Chain A
């Protein structure tokens, strides 16, 4: 079974630029999560999708971050404009419907904002 795929793996941008990350969850997994992990900290949940609907985006900084999951499969997370403090690893995870305790993480995208 293929795991969660993410791209790109690394990205370096200047502040005020925009960036987008892509995630393809494990086939059949209804729930998709985006996390932000700053160096030396635990992952922070940004947004959770159930199929193509948002379950909760209360921790997503909506003034600059946006996310979508069209057709209930792939998802993109966008930052516009980026700030220095957005430098982090952005992790995507997925789980089967109703089994939130079985989150499988992708390899992450390491973002550096200069």
Chain B
């Protein structure tokens, strides 16, 4: 799996959008970008994934640059419950395991 680079921490005010960046400059053509998050002492939770098009679901939006070398996870209206470590992972869907980096610790404050 290709490696990713994320900022170690970010702050966000409650109700504002949280934009979490991820660099994956060595991503291969068949690798997807996955985002997971881990709330303290719980198992990680899948958020969203994409190949090259922007994606949106009930939790978040994923913006992938045209060259696919970076992406941004957007939580449109962050709440205190979104405080967690967010992991950006690139992988071939279905045929490889998840390689977690250090992720970004997002702190949402009132």
A and B pair up: no
**Residues of chain A at the chain B interface (Cβ within 8 Å):** none
